[in-house]
Amino acid sequence: MLRDEERQTLREELDRLRKDGARRQELSLHACKRLFFDFGIRPSMATVRDLTQTGSASDIPKDIELFWQRIRAASKVRVGSGAIPPALEERAGELLGALFEEARILAKQTLESEREVIDASRQDAEQALRDAQARQLAADEMLLRSETRTEAAWLRVRELENQLAASSAHDASHHDSLQATVRRLEAENESLQKRIDAEQATNAGLRDRIDGLHEEMRRSTEHYAQQIKDALAEAERRVKPMLVELDSLRTMSSTWQAAQRDASRKEFDFIQQLATAKARADRLDTVLRERSDEVDGLTRQVATLRAQQGIDGSVASVLCALAESGRLTQPELAQLGTLVDGHVGLPAHCPNCEQGEPELSQVGEGFELSCPECDYTSGAGASRLEALARFVAGKRLSATR
């Protein structure tokens, strides 16, 4: 694996060769030599293309194959000269070739072993993700149980407060026993309050842990914002009247103890409804991610159809065939403009050298077809169809506006 400074050094060498007039093949061969002999790395199409920044997907493999042909030819050359017998020179060349093949086989085995290690690491990462999801489900269950225990503790506090209010109405003769009862209830109330605080602290820790797990999962997903907002708006619309009613019940609880217990039960129901709404929002989140992938695919199809501008494929094929055969004049090409550019395909080979693969580039507001092998070009045309007609015809046409 190349380090960043080594990669930068190779790119600077190739830039100097390019400025000195080196062609694509010379740049690719130089990159292969440096990778193989200086860094011990087997040249690949992606690595050579990244270093040279030139060449097509079919040209670079040809250059790499030429490099290996030269290596194999060099391995068969006789070693040295002078007093060494000819037979020994020939055997030495064969030995070098055998050593090279053994080295290539060893490198392939090393690559396979590293690939197995990478696969094992990927499986471990997937298992870790599944474990994290299981831990999240367990944390959700613990949070629900904690909230239930907290609500029960609040109900117990209210019952104790009711008992304390009722005991204050007892006769003065039971004053001593009443004081002892009050102290006991206060101690029990304080103990319950501490337990409630501890449960709330535990709930806060569980919420922080759940937030961390959600953040981990959100790194590899996307949210479909509009439907989530609709789900949350629906939940808020259903909860707001309940909250208003809950506030009204809490206001009345200062004078009506019976209404206070009813409000507590309704509050518990509202919390359950909120939890149900949150679960529904999570399910919608999963569905929306799937719909988002479908929308992306349809968007790409729409972009392709827009590029074709509604032209029938058979009509566009006929126009492209007429342009390639040189039967369309310059005024006709100018009149067509970019109407059929979405259907125009590039020729497989250059008509001049029959080897290079033509490349399409945009020059200003026009288009130009050129061969990277022989530097043959069509000249700037107002559309892709005009550039194709010029390139196939083998001559430059003067552009008319």
- Domain end among 287, 308, 329: 308
pLDDT tier for residue 1 given thresholds of 50, 70 and 90 = low
Name the residue range of residue 285's domain.
Answer: 223-308
| Cβ atoms 368, 361 nearer than 8 A | yes
125 assigned to some structural domain: no
Lookup: tokens for 334? 């100018």
Domain shared by 199 and 240, yes or no: no
Question: What does the alpha-carbon distance between residue 370 and residue 212 come to, in Å, rounded to a whole number?
Answer: 54
Report, as an integer, the average pLDDT of 197-214: 78
Instruction: Note if the pTM is more than 0.85.
Output: no
Which of 36-40, 246-250, 311-315 bottoms out in mean pLDDT, i.e. has the lowest? 311-315
Per-residue model confidence (pLDDT) at position 113: 84
The pLDDT tens digits for 105-134 are 887 788 788 878 888 888 888 888 888 888
57 assigned to some structural domain: yes
Residue 321 pLDDT more than 60? yes
Q: Which of 218, 181, 196 is nearest to 146 (CA)?
A: 196
116 assigned to some structural domain: no
Spell 13-38 as b/e; 16+ CB within 10 A means b.
ebeebbeeebebbbbbbbbbebbeee
Report, as an integer, the average pLDDT of 141-158: 85
State the amino acid at position 365 in one-letter form: E
pLDDT tier for residue 396 given thresholds of 50, 70 and 90 = very low
Which of 166-175, 223-232, 300-309, 371-380 bottoms out in mean pLDDT, i.e. has the lowest? 300-309
Per-residue model confidence (pLDDT) at position 335: 67
Per-residue model confidence (pLDDT) at position 171: 63
99 assigned to some structural domain: no
pLDDT tier for residue 71 given thresholds of 50, 70 and 90 = confident
88 assigned to some structural domain: no
Residue 81 pLDDT more than 60? no
- Domain end among 60, 75, 90: 75
Q: How many structural domains compose the chain? A: 4
Report, as an integer, the average pLDDT of 62-80: 74
Per-residue model confidence (pLDDT) at position 98: 76
Over its C-alpha atoms, the chain yields an Rg (Å, rounded) of: 39
Pairing of strands 366-370, 359-363: antiparallel
Helix/strand/coil for 348: coil
Q: Which of 299, 387, 276, 373 is nearest to 340 (CA)?
A: 387
Write the Ramachandran bin of 309: left for phi over 0, alpha for psi from -120 to 50, otherwise beta.
left
91 assigned to some structural domain: no
Domain shared by 381 and 304, yes or no: no
Report, as an integer, the average pLDDT of 172-193: 78
pLDDT tier for residue 400 given thresholds of 50, 70 and 90 = very low
Q: The dihedral of CA 270, 273, 277, 282: what is its sign?
A: positive
